[in-house]
Each structure stands twice: as C-alpha cells, then as structure tokens.
Amino acid sequence: MGVSPINYTDYSDESLMDLVVKEDHEAFSVLVTRYTKMFYAAAYRSCGDQDAAEDIVQDAFLKLWNRPGIWDSSRGAKFSTWFYRVVTNQAIDYMRKQKNTKGSDALERISDDKESAQDGMERAEKEGMLEGAIQDLPERQKTALNLCFYEGLSNKDAAGIMGVSVKGLESLLMRAKTGLKDTLKRNGMLDNEDDYKEVSNGRG
Amino acid sequence: MEEDSKKLDAVLGRRSVPEMRSNLEYRIIQAAKAGRQVQKEKGFFAGLNAAIDEFFCGLALPKPAISMSVVLVLAIMTGVYSDNAFVPDLEEANNMAVYMDFEQVAGYGGSYE
C-alpha cells in the first residue's frame, strides 16, 4: 500500500473517525500522531507508570482501530472527550489490577536528570511525595483532578467523561484538593515559600 | 485558606510527565497495520472454520429431554403400526387365552364342571 495522496492533517477528528470506520489506515495514523502524546500524559497521570501508560494508550488506539464501531458519531460527542473516557477507563482497569503491586516512576526517572546529585535527590523526593499523594487519592477524586486540573477540560466535559453531574464533579474536586492539602501539609510541602514562588503559574 | 489553595495549585502544577520512552506513535501505527494484515491472512481459514462449525452445529442433537421424548413417541408409533412376530393378532390372542384357561383348569383337577 503506497502513501495516500490525500492530506488528512487538516481534517477534523470526527471526519477522520468517519474514515477510520471505513478502515482507512492513513486517517487512523493522523489521529494517532495527533493525540498519542496528550493521551500518554493523561494515562501516566492516572497510573503513575511510564510503561503502563504507553501500553494503555496503545491498547486504547488498537481497540479503536479493530472495533471502530465503538465510536458513535451520531451522538455528537467530541472525539477527544470521548477518547479520554476510553483511556481513563483503561487506566482505571489497569490500576485495579495493579493495586498495591507497584509504585510510581517519579523517583526512578529523576535519577536520569543531569543535575547535581543533591538537588536531584531533593527534587525526586518532592516529586515522589506529590505523585504518591495524588496516586493515593480515591480513584474518582484522582480522575476528576487529572481531567480538570491537568488536562484542562471544562467541568462539564469532565463530568460527562466520568458519568457524574457537574455538582458531583465539583464535590470530587473539592475533596481531592482538601485531601491533598492535608497530606502535603503534613509532609511540609506547602510550607516552603520558595517552592511556591519558584513554580507559581506553572502547569503540567 | 486562600493562600493554601494557591500554594496547592502551584505545587500541583509542578507535577511533570516523563517523556515517552519509545516512539509510541510509530509502534501503534505499525501494530494496527500488522493486526489488519494478520486478520486478512487468517480470513480464508477463519471462514472455512466457521462454515465447518456451522455444519456440525446443525447436526448436533437438540436438547436431550426433547430428543428422548421424540424417540419414545416414534418407538410407540412404530410398535402400534408394525406387524411383527412379537405382537400377536386378535385371533391368535384369543386362542392363546383359551389355551391358557384350559391349562389353568387342568392344573386344578377338574373343578370346572
């Protein structure tokens, strides 16, 4: 099969999905290229494991390719919002299977950075603590936090993905933040004014 | 309280995502292509297997209870309508009854007067 003469890069996600349903591999490739990084980040934030996050995203895309019928364009949903749900569900399944068997990668990956050993250790410790605190949140609170805070979805979209009302989502977010505040305070992570200044306005 | 929330948002914002370890996009695209290829190659045999399965499913006996009932009914009907050595006709049956009666009387020493 040669390279398709059609340039799909300008197509909307939904138009590409219509082509994927017709087994158009080129359209599928464009979708994969467009979204892999974003959904990898979402999967990583859900499970805290690089390899697992890659597997989750790969499985989700292959599921879409092998069974494109799971996408129902007539519902009028945005592809990215709908696919968040697919990836989030895969990640939740993974976490249920892996519960208590593996920690996060945060400490491990910091050791690769080219900074002084002392700084690296300190940063690794803080990141590990933060990642641990987030991973320890109840599943739904964590998902709400990830979707709204890190993925930047609107409350309405996030509520739709999670199958809860907007009020319910806000309650989950509130509880997640309260729980995190308590945990991080206990570990002294909210006391250091320098940390706060250093990262203010930073995201993701 | 407000200050705490700002600090929390700042700390949360520090959370980072590591780079993907491999060329994930390429892997996914290739895996999808390979998967479809395997499906096509398996297509003929999968179709053949499905046809064979369907044939044998058609031959398979239905539920045992129904099968037994059908066999029983058929056996009774065969018995009723067949004319074989094991089923005496009416005349023969009468003769037999008379004979048996005689035998019975003879056995009791002629109390049949």
Across chain A, which has 204 residues, the per-10-residue mean pLDDT values are: 65 90 91 93 88 93 90 80 88 78 50 56 75 88 91 90 92 93 82 52 40
Structure confidence at residue A198 (pLDDT): 46
d(CA A44, CA A178): 23
On whether the CB atoms of residues A46 and A142 are closer than 8 A, the answer is yes
Q: Mean pLDDT throughout B82-105? A: 67
Residue A74: both structure tokens together: 């007539």
Residue B57: both structure tokens together: 């499913």
In B32-61, the residues whose Cβ lies within 8 Å of chain A are 32-33, 35-36
Name the residue among B7, B14, B18 with its Cβ closest to that of A50.
B18
Cα dihedral across residues A183, A185, A190, A192: positive or negative: negative
- Is B85 exposed, middle or buried, given 0-12, 13-18 or 19+ CB atoms closer than 10 A? exposed
B16 close to A (CB below 8 A): yes
A142 close to B (CB below 8 A): no
Which residues lie closer than 8 Å to A67 by C-beta, 6 or more apart?
none
Structure confidence at residue B110 (pLDDT): 53
Judging contacts by C-beta atoms under 8 Å, the chain B residues touching residue A28 are: 29, 32
Does ipTM exceed 0.85? no
Structure confidence at residue B41 (pLDDT): 61
Residue B61: both structure tokens together: 């006996």
> What angle do helix axes A50-66 and B24-59 make, rounded to 10 degrees?
50
Question: Is B17 in contact with A25 (Cβ distance < 8 A)?
Answer: no
> Could you tell me the pLDDT band of residue B85, with boundaries at 50, 70 and 90?
low
pTM above threshold 0.80: no
Structure confidence at residue B84 (pLDDT): 60
Name the residue among A23, A57, A184 with its Cβ closest to that of B8.
A184
Structure confidence at residue A63 (pLDDT): 92
d(CA A146, CA A176): 10
Question: Is A196 in contact with B31 (Cβ distance < 8 A)?
Answer: no
**Cβ count within 10 A of residue B12:** 22
Q: Is B82 helix (H, G, I), strand (E, B) or coil?
A: coil
Judging contacts by C-beta atoms under 8 Å, the chain B residues touching residue A181 are: 4-5, 8
d(CA A198, CA A160): 35
Question: Is A181 in contact with B4 (Cβ distance < 8 A)?
Answer: yes
The residue count of chain A comes to 204
What's CA A194's distance to the chain center, in Å? 28
Question: Is B15 in contact with A177 (Cβ distance < 8 A)?
Answer: no
CA distance A36 to chain B (A): 6
Structure confidence at residue A99 (pLDDT): 66
Scored b (16 or more CB within 10 A) or e, A58-82 reads bbbbbebbeebeebeeeeebebbbb
Question: Is A44 in contact with B18 (Cβ distance < 8 A)?
Answer: yes
Residue A114: both structure tokens together: 């080219």
Residue A105: both structure tokens together: 């990668």
Name the residue among B4, B17, B21 with its Cβ closest to that of A190.
B4
pLDDT in tens, B13-70: 888 888 887 789 999 999 998 877 666 666 666 667 766 766 665 555 557 778 888 8
Percent of chain B having pLDDT more than 70?
Answer: 57
